[in-house]
Amino acid sequence: MSTPQIVAIDGPAASGKGTLARRLAAALDLPYLDTGLLYRATGRLVLDAGGNPADPAQAEAAARRLKPENLDRADLRGPEADMAASQVASIPAVRAALLDFQRGFGAAHGAVLDGRDIGTVIFPAAPAKLFVTASLDERARRRFLEVTSKGLDETLEDVRREMAERDEADRNRAAAPLRPADDAVVLDTTTLDPDAAFCRAMEIVRERLA
C-alpha cells in the first residue's frame, strides 16, 4: 500500500495556518481537517454542561462523546472558546480520545491537517510538514481584525495578551507541546500576504510529495 499523502501544518494561533491549509487542500484535491475544532468543540461541550474545561474527567468525557455535527457550531471562536480549547487540549486523556479520529481522517485518502501536533504526534511520518509562524504583533493584529469584523468587543491589547497566554500554555504543556517537528519546514508569514504564503507553501509541499 502506498503511503497516504499527508500534509501536516502546525503553528501558533493566527499564524495563517488555517487559511493556508484550506488552500493547499483545495489545490492538491485532498480532504482538509482543522483539528483545532476538535478541541474547541470539546471545550464547548464542557461549558454547555456548566462544567470546568480544566477538569480532566469532565473534559475527557466530552471528548469521548464528541460527534461530527458538534464541529459545525457557530460559537467555537472567540475568547471563551479559545481558552476552553487550550485548557482541554493540555489534558493527555483528551488528546488520546481525539487521536483515532484524526489518524482515521487521513489514513485512507491522505489529507491536509492543521493544528499543533500533527507533524510531531498525529502523523510523525507525514511526507510534508510545515510549521507556520509569524510575530506575536502580526498575529495579534490579524486576530483582532477577525474578531472585530464579527462584532466582538475586544481591544487589540486584550487579543494580544490572550494570544500570548495561550501560546505560552501550548508551548509549555507536557502533552504534545507546540513545537516544529525536526523535519518540518518553518514558514514565517510575518511579511507574507496569504497569496505569497500559499505560493511558498505549494513549492515546499510539491517538493516533499514528489
Looking at the Cβ atoms of 182 and 210, the one nearer to ligand CDP is 182
Residue nearest to ligand CDP (CB): 36
Contacts of 86 (CB under 8 A, 6+ apart): 39, 166, 169, 170
Using CB under 6 A, which residues numbered 174 to 193 contact ligand CDP?
none
Out of 23, 44, 116, 142, point to the residue binding ligand CDP (CB under 6 A).
Answer: 116
Looking at the Cβ atoms of 85 and 201, the one nearer to ligand CDP is 85
Contacts of 175 (CB under 8 A, 6+ apart): 90, 91, 92, 95
Told to check if 53 binds ligand CDP by CB under 6 A, we report no
Give me the least distance between CB of 2 and ligand CDP, in Å please: 25
Residues 81, 84: Cα–Cα separation, whole Å: 5
Residues 193, 34: Cα–Cα separation, whole Å: 21
Give me the least distance between CB of 210 and ligand CDP, in Å please: 26
Residues 128, 130: Cα–Cα separation, whole Å: 7
Told to check if 170 binds ligand CDP by CB under 6 A, we report yes
Told to check if 40 binds ligand CDP by CB under 6 A, we report yes
**CB 9 within 8 Å of CB 185:** no
**CB 12 within 8 Å of CB 178:** yes
Out of 16, 53, 110, 115, point to the residue binding ligand CDP (CB under 6 A).
Answer: 115
| DSSP element (H, E) containing 100 | helix 92-107
**DSSP string over 12-24:** STTSSHHHHHHHH
Told to check if 14 binds ligand CDP by CB under 6 A, we report yes
Using CB under 6 A, which residues numbered 16 to 35 contact ligand CDP?
18, 35
- Piece of 84-92, 123-131, 148-156, 179-187 that binds ligand CDP (CB under 6 A): 84-92
Residues 81, 86: Cα–Cα separation, whole Å: 9
Told to check if 129 binds ligand CDP by CB under 6 A, we report no
Looking at the Cβ atoms of 60 and 170, the one nearer to ligand CDP is 170
Query: Which amino acid does the sequence have at 4?
Result: P
| Structure-block grid coordinates of residue 49 | 454542561
Task: Count the residues of the shown chain that bind ligand CDP, applying the rule CB under 6 A.
Answer: 15
Interface ranges with ligand CDP (CB under 6 A): 13-14, 18, 35-36, 39-40, 85-86, 89, 115-117, 166, 170
